Structure 1
């Protein structure tokens, strides 16, 4: 006759309880997986993706930005003046163009802007300030809300920033001998005797948000700056997705505009006369936003995002962009060249091509800015 001690009975009971717990957890994971809360039953998949660990490298939800580079040159520059940069959250400016990016754990924000040259105000300052605000989002629900939020942030200090930028440029030109002392004094204000910021300043704008968790890219475009997605095919690269231009007419792009209300400015001048320039509160500016074009699509590994101002698109065709990227990427030895170096090579190659073409009889001289992002 076999007798069981109380110790053995406890061990058997604990074993059975553990077995029941494992069965329950397995059933729970199956239910959660079927409901879509934990894709493939892997509850850590999205968290690992956002922290940069490839648990499921072939899953769309884990595709993320692997490298970014910005290249550009202003219209008056030389081929040797082309600069290539890749610093996160740092605004790059080439003439009236500006570009920047902000790569975070769960998403990436990329933006390019082109100050409208025909505007009477300080469009270079507008493109730079707007880019600087857009890459510091307060996590609104949509990209259009981010643009509106950035514009509202600029409005209160618009006049002050324009006057500071104007003074800085004029002081530089005075030192370089491009302005005389008398011209320098007059240059702080335009021919109407008012600050440039009172007049209309405008910029085109292209914003890209890549959501790692959703595996999607959302694009909002205002004007004739551009975004195109390149994806590998058997012959090199195809461009399945492109942003749509929004135009009022030929050579008249839609834009974001900014100006100071003249009535508020008159009140500011009265306050300034009483309180002094260091005490009087600057008047708030107002902005308008023209028609936007939006685009959304799923991303894949090895996709390449190409963004540029019209200095790129007016001088390099889509076909030539594809072949230039293909020629730059094909033949690269991954053991000798990093993904960041490849992004820089593409950005520079496209900028050089646009610059060279802009100097031909059929070209269009302009500031040129190119942003390249490679997904992995």
Structure 2
């Protein structure tokens, strides 16, 4: 399937830039009920008198993401309208990039300082961390696409879908995009009752259940403001990736973001904002409203260098630096609500 064709079912645009993945059908992922045939004994047996016909086996429940995305590059005052652009299935946000599917989400944060590096790059006159992160997320989404079986034919060369590791997806993506620049990355995917997470760098993911955080990843830093990074001149590699497995339930809310979110908004504020936009009936809660509200809060803090306090400010002070307010950066926020297929 070509990339152009692939974009037709990865994202669907609806009014007010609310994006949701609308799968055509879940042939490869929704377990098919199996009927076991009763076999008659070859010789008469007393067991034959009490044998009961086998009934249909119960279906196993699987999960999906209902997602919302909100993002703003630091170079503009306006949020972007997320849409993939051929030939990529990922979406660019300044030097950030992300992808979202019904079963997974990913964020990559391009390291802006490498934009001034000469000689090692996608382009001749300088490094291009934005393109690096865009390609990394593109390949991550593309690798996951291989498990989408809309034709009815299963690729037996692929590992079992339920055992796929986001770390392996990241490794493969890294191999495919191994060019010049650096970035951080998180990939999360959900199947059955597990959320599988792979993280390297200072992006972060939080899982909220019933208004309380049940999981929060930790940023990977070599030192203050020097996160683990992937790139052709980095000593870090996908082998440094942190991996986590979180048991999930329907109604759990997953917040995934670049450091533009988590450097400006405290964890407890994220939980409160999500709670404010969570309907008592989780089935009609809108993840796009949640993502928009988180982005709005991050922007307000980043643009206030007089009165605002931020997680980045607190860390800077702990390291002995004077710093006031938030941190201006590219901001990418993804919110996924877990629901049954």
Question: Residues 290 and 363 of structure 1: is their aligned pair in 2 closer, same or farther, counting only changes over 3 Å?
Answer: farther
Q: Could you say which residue in structure 1 is the equivalent of 2:13?
A: none
Q: Is the 8 A contact 2:304 2:326 kept in 1?
A: yes
2:327 counterpart SS class: coil
Question: Residues 23 and 307 of structure 1: is their aligned pair in 2 closer, same or farther, counting only changes over 3 Å?
Answer: same
Structure 1 distance, partners of 2:328, 2:338, is 31
Q: Does 1:327 align with 2:324?
A: no
Question: Residues 333 and 114 of structure 1: is their aligned pair in 2 closer, same or farther, counting only changes over 3 Å?
Answer: closer
Question: Residues 317 and 21 of structure 1: is their aligned pair in 2 closer, same or farther, counting only changes over 3 Å?
Answer: farther
C-alpha deviation, 1:43, in angstroms: 2.4
Residues 229-308 of structure 1 aligned to structure 2 (within 5 Å): 229-232=207-210, 237-258=211-232, 288-289=237-238, 291-308=240-257
| Residues matched between the structures, number | 246
More helix by share: 1
Structure 1 distance, partners of 2:263, 2:62, is 31
Calculate the TM-score normalised by the size of structure 2: 0.65
- Could you tell me which of 48, 59, 63 is aligned with 1:45? 59
Unaligned runs of 5+ in 1: 1-15, 30-41, 47-61, 159-196, 261-285
1:135 counterpart SS class: helix
C-alpha deviation, 1:101, in angstroms: 1.8
Structure 1 distance, partners of 2:196, 2:50, is 42
Q: Does 1:211 align with 2:191?
A: yes
1:316 counterpart SS class: coil
C-alpha deviation, 1:245, in angstroms: 1.4
Q: Is the 8 A contact 1:244 1:293 kept in 2?
A: no
2:142 counterpart SS class: coil
Q: Could you say which residue in structure 2 is the equivalent of 1:112?
A: 107
Structure 1 distance, partners of 2:281, 2:72, is 26
Deviations 1:242-281 (A, max 9, x none): 1121111110000111269xxxxxxxxxxxxxxxxxxxxx
Q: Does 1:226 align with 2:204?
A: yes
Question: Residues 136 and 43 of structure 1: is their aligned pair in 2 closer, same or farther, counting only changes over 3 Å?
Answer: farther
Unaligned runs of 5+ in 2: 1-43, 118-126, 147-157, 306-324
- Is the radius of gyration larger for structure 1 or structure 2? 1
Deviations 1:61-111 (A, max 9, x none): x25124111110011221xx2245488x942211001110222xxxx1210
1:45 counterpart SS class: coil
Question: Residues 259 and 63 of structure 1: is their aligned pair in 2 closer, same or farther, counting only changes over 3 Å?
Answer: same
1:118 counterpart SS class: helix
Calculate the TM-score normalised by the size of structure 1: 0.59
Q: Could you say which residue in structure 2 is the equivalent of 1:310?
A: 259
Q: Could you say which residue in structure 2 is the equivalent of 1:147?
A: 170
Q: Is the 8 A contact 2:258 2:332 kept in 1?
A: yes
Question: Residues 66 and 209 of structure 1: is their aligned pair in 2 closer, same or farther, counting only changes over 3 Å?
Answer: closer
Deviations 1:290-336 (A, max 9, x none): 622211111101000000000000111110001101111246796xx
Q: Is the 8 A contact 2:70 2:295 kept in 1?
A: yes
- Could you tell me which of 265, 268, 287 is aligned with 1:343? 287
Larger deviation: 244-253 or 323-332? Answer: 323-332
Moved over 6 A (4+): 331-334
Q: CA RMSD for the aligned pairs? A: 3.0
